[in-house]
Amino acid sequence: MQFLADDDRNQSMTFRAPAKGLSGRVAVPGDKSISHRALMFSALAVGESRVEGLLEGEDVLATAAALRAMGARIERDGEGVWHIAGVGVGGLLQPQQALEMGNSGTSTRLLMGLLASHDLTATFTGDASLSKRPMGRVIEPLSRMGAEFTATPGVKGSQTLPLTMRGLVPAVPIEYRLPVASAQVKSAILLAGLNTPGITRVIEPEATRDHSERMLRGFGAELTVEQDGEGARIISIRGEAELRPQHILVPGDPSSAAFPLVAALIVPGSDVTITGIGINDTRIGLVRLLQAMGGDIELLDVRDEGGEPVADLHVRASRLRGVENDPADVPSMVDEFPVAFVAAALAEGRSVFRGLEELRVKESDRIAVMAQGLRAIGARVEETEDGLVIDGTGGEPLAGGGPIATHLDHRIAMSFAVAGLASRNGVTIDDMRPVETSFPGFAPLLNRIGAGVEA
Ligand code: S3P
């Protein structure tokens, strides 16, 4: 597999307002969070699991490659179904080479958790974006469980990739209260707990996506979730667990649906249905926010698929009003703020976004990068320490411009692509290749609903 280096050739692209509204029915690729977990949990089950609808993006393929390097057999058949022969909890083997994580924070942090209770040593490397992201948040709890981390090549105390870790068997069960609302940190500890004798407990004051909990239960792990008096979730897992192979259907990714969703709201005359989207409460804060802005979004045919709620999203162009976000809702739309800012830039009146510190440590500093880019295309934006204040155009198209620097961040690229669809002169993105990490086929999908993007 090849990952992007800063000096490779960029794939610049310009997105312009289509002649008429967007229309039609489309499905987006599978959920990234669920895809990573489906591969990891299947790799630990005894026997063969099947996964349908897996996201075949670079981030998930990095997870697959790492698991293969440690002994799991992972194959895709002619129908696009993935077959994973697991090695059993605790059964992963010493990798012979560094594990290349590309752009993927989820692969890195969850696999560190998984390996913390294995008797092996692994080196994690990543691209320029991932190598800046904080790993201290997993190093701290996993060290308490007995894992040892050293920076490569020997920079003492470094908490960014490249890092080498040594797991411990038997690891020490811990009770850990999350200092940041992070599903990755929660999941890393639960994964370490799988092969740790006794009860490992994570306390999360603010609910984050709960796919790990749902799926681990589905795989047969003994996992309980309780609430304390203050509403914090207490998640307990008993190791050493035995996982049974599963058949998993991966729903469409609400974080990917966010782009055609906002595009349909802001391109006049649009009427689009996005089918088969996961609507787990811990993931669809964006839908709630856009509805509060006056967005015409209906959830149709709500159903359950493989333990996750799924619906078709019917969305029509709408006059949006400015909004103030509820900081308590941030985890349920943490990846969707960049495209929410685009919606706010076209709404009537002022939007105030707060409580978004975590956005500064995503694939890029999404507060700074969005503020800079939105200003460059004619939006009125003020950056604050933990968010943005945006004065919208009231539905008038943005001027447009660019090239927008995406800083190896897929969601920056896709957010500005959407902005381009509601601009007078088009928006040029410096490099669309990062989109391959989470949304292969992004521009062709926009074309299927009439965006008229020239690739
Ligand atoms: C993810 C959790 C979130 C999210 C990321 C995927 C996951 O990260 O931003 O895209 O799959 O657990 P944090 O846990 O850092 O908030």
List, by residue number, the catalytic residues: 335
Model confidence at 274: pLDDT above 70: yes
Which pLDDT belongs to residue 158? 86
Domain-embedded: residue 47: yes
Tokens 């105030």: give the residue: 352
CATH of the domain at 287: 3.65.10.10
- Whether residues 208 and 320 share a domain: the answer is no
- Whether residues 212 and 263 share a domain: the answer is no
Domain-embedded: residue 319: yes
Smallest CA-to-CA distance from 278 within 246, 315, 304 is with 304
- Whether residues 239 and 312 share a domain: the answer is no
* Distance from residue 185's CA to the centre of ligand 1 (Å): 9
Which residue minimizes the CA distance to atom 13 of ligand 1? 182
Which pLDDT belongs to residue 8? 57
* Distance from residue 33's CA to the centre of ligand 1 (Å): 7
> Is residue 9 a known part of a binding site?
no
- Whether residues 231 and 342 share a domain: the answer is no
Smallest CA-to-CA distance from 409 within 368, 356, 380 is with 368
Number of structural domains found in the chain: 2
* Strand-pair partners of 13: 429
Question: What pTM does this model have?
Answer: 0.97
- For range 219-240, the mean pLDDT: 97
> Is residue 288 a known part of a binding site?
no
> Is residue 2 a known part of a binding site?
no
Smallest CA-to-CA distance from 91 within 238, 194, 245 is with 194
Domain-embedded: residue 220: yes
- Whether residues 238 and 268 share a domain: the answer is no
Confidence of residue 10 (pLDDT cuts 50, 70, 90): confident
Ligand 1 — pocket residues by CB below 6 A? Answer: 33, 106, 182-184, 187, 209, 334-335, 358
- Whether residues 329 and 234 share a domain: the answer is no
Domain-embedded: residue 199: yes
Specify the ligand 1 atom closest to the Cα of 137: 15
Confidence of residue 454 (pLDDT cuts 50, 70, 90): confident
* Distance from residue 301's CA to the centre of ligand 1 (Å): 27
Task: Tell which of 207, 225, 249 closes a domain.
Answer: 249
Domain-embedded: residue 1: no
Task: Tell which of 249, 280, 302 closes a domain.
Answer: 249
Domain-embedded: residue 6: no
- Whether residues 171 and 240 share a domain: the answer is yes
- Whether residues 19 and 149 share a domain: the answer is no
* Distance from residue 182's CA to the centre of ligand 1 (Å): 6
Domain-embedded: residue 191: yes
Q: From the CB of residue 259, how many other CB atoms can be counted at a distance below 10 Å?
A: 27
- Whether residues 255 and 245 share a domain: the answer is no
* Size (the chain), residues: 455
- Cβ 354 vs Cβ 289: under 8 Å: no
3-state SS of the chain is: CCCCCCCCCCCCEEECCCCCCCEEEEECCECHHHHHHHHHHHHHEEEEEEEECCCCCHHHHHHHHHHHHCCCEEEECCCCCEEEEEECCCCCCCCCCCEECCCCHHHHHHHHHHHHCCCCEEEEECCCCHHHCCCHHHHHHHHHCCCEEEECCCCCCCCCCCEEEECCCCCCCCEEECCCCCHHHHHHHHHHHHCCCEEEEEEECCCCCCHHHHHHHHCCCCEEEEECCCCCEEEEEEECCCECCCEEECCECHHHHHHHHHHHHHCCCCEEEEEEEECCCCCCHHHHHHHHCCCEEEEEEEEEECCEEEEEEEEECCCCECCECCHHHHHHHCCCHHHHHHHHHCCECEEEECCCHHHHHCCCCHHHHHHHHHHHCCCEEEEECCEEEEECCCCCCECCEEEECCCCCHHHHHHHHHHHCCECCCEEECCCHHHHHCCCCHHHHHHHCCCCCCC
Residues 6+ apart with CB under 8 A from 22: 260, 263, 264, 267, 270, 271, 272, 421, 446, 449, 450, 451
Task: Tell which of 231, 249, 267 closes a domain.
Answer: 249
| 100-142 tens-digit pLDDT | 999 999 999 999 999 999 999 999 999 999 999 999 999 999 9
| 134-146 tens-digit pLDDT | 999 999 999 999 9
- Whether residues 199 and 267 share a domain: the answer is no
> Is residue 7 a known part of a binding site?
no
Specify the ligand 1 atom closest to the Cα of 36: 11
For a substitution probing ligand 1, which of 101, 129, 184, 286 has the most ligand atoms within 8 Å of its CB?
184
Specify the ligand 1 atom closest to the Cα of 334: 9
- Domain assignment of residue 432, given as a range: 13-30+251-448
Domain-embedded: residue 403: yes
- Whether residues 207 and 299 share a domain: the answer is no
Confidence of residue 152 (pLDDT cuts 50, 70, 90): confident
Model confidence at 390: pLDDT above 50: yes
Model confidence at 4: pLDDT above 80: no
- Whether residues 244 and 266 share a domain: the answer is no
| 11-47 tens-digit pLDDT | 999 999 999 999 999 999 999 999 999 999 999 999 9
What's phi and psi for 118, nearest 5 deg? -115, 150
